[in-house]
Structure 1
Amino acid sequence: MELKGIHHVSAITANAANNYHFYTEVLGMRLVKKTINQDDPSVYHLFYADEVGNPGSDLTFFEIPQAGRTYPGISSISGTSLRVPNDRALQYWEKRLTEHNVDHDGMTKQGSRHVIHFRDSENQRLTLISDETNTGVKGGKVWEHSNTPADKGIIGLGPVTLTVEDPAPTIKVLTEILTFREVGGYSSLDNDQDDIRVFATGEGGTGAEVHLEVRNDLSKERPGRGSVHHVAFRVDNEDELAKWKNRIKKEGIPNSGLIDRFYFKSLYFREPNGILFELATDGPGFATDEDVDNLGESLALPPLFEDRREEIEANLKPLDTIRPHHSVWSCCIQRCSNWFR
């Protein structure tokens, strides 16, 4: 058994409409699924990804309208990376973020890779990372209707950063229970030492790394809007996931057991520093209940919730996610404009 890389990252937003605008209009990602938090169907769960939501490209958000601010600290997933094709793409993004008044630090280096650290309006800690030198897990493909160029858009999730006070128990889980191996390190922005340790799994590369930061000057993070809820790692199929369940149980780690999320199967557990990990299967995928061309345009409910649709929709604040290019009217306008050229 070997984990294949990052599957998805799930974070918290207090405003689904603003979140949708930022990740689709500013970052050019595709909303591939508008659904509910299956553990709390009164709130949205939004999935942003590449053209079809390939495993390793999904950045997801639970809407919690009452969420307060995040107080960053240890025992947290303190950073999420988004992959772009190369260094030239980062130059494009530096200009784009500035034009959209997005708070960013400009282009810099993270080890041997070029990156741009930035924040959304809720201070979600994000990084654009270049795949210029990537030789590991391949990225996805930018959606053809994205408002970013196909050769510069976001193609998947990059490394996640974990911040802990005591690294030893986390490293033990990563290397002795999961299938990560230490592959290097780099210095943080305010330190000349290689204080960030890098662990990789599977084919390695930007799509299969966890970066571990040790901080002794922070208290435990108080999560809120702009914080990360959990990170999920890729498992090939359900049979393999069952083996992972047995392995984790054998290690004496409490876990959720196998859970059917409809779009994938999952297993959850916390590593010793309290960070929530998920193992998730690559399939069946987001086209299970929607046509690929219309992913994310309507409220998708797993079969378990379908008989409660009327109740669920009544409790959700309407969120219009129909893309203009899909409407009959816009198609007619486009055809008419072609006729009169």
Structure 2
Amino acid sequence: MTVKPLKGQHHVSAITADAKKNYEFYTQVLGLRLVKKTVNQDDTSVYHLFYADERGNPGTDLTFFEIPNAGQTYPGSRSISATSLRVPSNASLQYWKERFDQYGVEHDEISHQTGRATLAFQDFEGQRLVLVSDEHNRGVEGGVPWEKSPIPNEHGIRGLGPVTLTVPEALQTAKVLTSVLGFSEKGSYPSEVEGQPDIIVYETGEGGTGAEVHLEERTDLSPERSGRGSVHHVAFRVESEEELYKWIQVVNDLRIPNSGFVERYYFKSLYFREPNGILFELATDGPGFEGDEPFESLGENLALPPYFEDQREEIEAKLKPLDTKEA
């Protein structure tokens, strides 16, 4: 079965215990647009919030499931340990550092990784995030920041950058990335932890900031205990539904346990876990977020896929009100 290469990151889905504070941080501090306020399709009693560029272009979505009773995260291995967000330039990182100081956001100093300037920071729940400069990017194009964002366009977040996977045995995950998903090894850089192997960089499609996975082997860590501030899964871009069915056949032929085809309405998906237990999703680029809301009012109201509309009253009754309309 011949499949087209994956096109890079599609979205990253994480966990929050407080949808209201989450909304305020990601829209008012980070300047992302809430492009969809919906529910977790596997548990409609909780919100699923999608933050992205102006219209939720593939590769720009950082999403959150609200789990109000989610406990503290105890970081460790078998995890997606960092999510990066692309900004236009090295100068943008200085802008963001000053903004983080203004808003009391915990952050590190600006540093360099694989030839790119980066700035690591955390949200109010300890979500591990990294801003990465696109100044020298030669790969997948970034998205388009929303014109109503509080962030100046020249410094606005353009989408997802590399994700870091932290595992106890890198070889097993590497085999899935290369032999199953078609990534290629691009390079490496030293671990910040003494005595640990170099972090290996893998890329797919056009490569560049929006199409990399950084694989970190850590033999000194226990498995992560996930909660608020942790990442649930990472999704990679598939061009079309036709291509997704080919990927399903590939995964089935390799006898990898998987979800089969999953209808998410805004995209179509396939889920499976790699040997270290990290959840991967393959998701189609379309149809996108404007099938049930116009561009101008994306994210302002509770959107439900058609197959949940007959349950709207019941679903809304279980959700705490969340005002996401612009003033």
Class of the TM-score when normalised by the shorter of the 2 chains: over 0.9
Aligned match of 2:123 in 120, 124, 138? Answer: 120
CA contact (8 A) 1:111 1:187 kept: no
Partner letter of residue 49 of structure 1? A
- 1:192 deviation in Å? 9.0
CA contact (8 A) 1:186 1:194 kept: no
Structure 1 range deviating more: 160-169 or 183-192? 183-192
CA distance in 2, matches of 1:216, 1:193: 7
Name 1:263's counterpart in structure 2: 266
CA contact (8 A) 2:196 2:219 kept: no
Matched, 1:282 2:285: yes
Report the aligned-residue RMSD.
Answer: 1.0
Matched, 1:234 2:237: yes
Matched, 1:249 2:277: no
Partner letter of residue 47 of structure 2? Y
Name 1:153's counterpart in structure 2: 156
Q: Which runs of 5+ in 1 are unaligned?
A: 325-341
Matched, 1:37 2:40: yes
Aligned residues, how many? 324
CA distance in 1, matches of 2:194, 2:91: 27
Matched, 1:180 2:150: no
Instruction: State TM-score, norm by structure 2.
Output: 0.98
Displacement over 6 Å in runs of 4+: none
Task: Give 1:2-41 correspondences, 5 Å limit.
Answer: 2-41=5-44
> Aligned to 1:256, what secondary structure does the other structure show?
coil
Name 1:214's counterpart in structure 2: 217
**How many percent of aligned residue pairs carry the same amino acid?**
66
CA distance in 2, matches of 1:56, 1:191: 33
CA contact (8 A) 2:196 2:217 kept: no
Name 1:328's counterpart in structure 2: none
CA distance in 2, matches of 1:195, 1:305: 47
Matched, 1:323 2:312: no
- 1:165 deviation in Å? 0.6
Matched, 1:303 2:290: no
CA distance in 2, matches of 1:155, 1:222: 30
Residues 2-45 of structure 1 deviation map (CA, whole Å, 9 limit, x = unaligned) = 10000000000000000000000000000000000000000000
- 1:179 deviation in Å? 1.2
Name 1:327's counterpart in structure 2: none
- The structure that has the greater radius of gyration is 1
- 1:189 deviation in Å? 3.2
Residues 159-202 of structure 1 deviation map (CA, whole Å, 9 limit, x = unaligned) = 00000010111011000010100000112334598711000000
CA contact (8 A) 1:110 1:187 kept: no
CA contact (8 A) 2:161 2:210 kept: yes
> Aligned to 1:280, what secondary structure does the other structure show?
strand
> Aligned to 1:307, what secondary structure does the other structure show?
helix
Residues 202-244 of structure 1 deviation map (CA, whole Å, 9 limit, x = unaligned) = 0000000000001011111111000000000000000000000
Partner letter of residue 91 of structure 1? Q
Instruction: State TM-score, norm by structure 1.
Output: 0.94
Matched, 1:93 2:96: yes
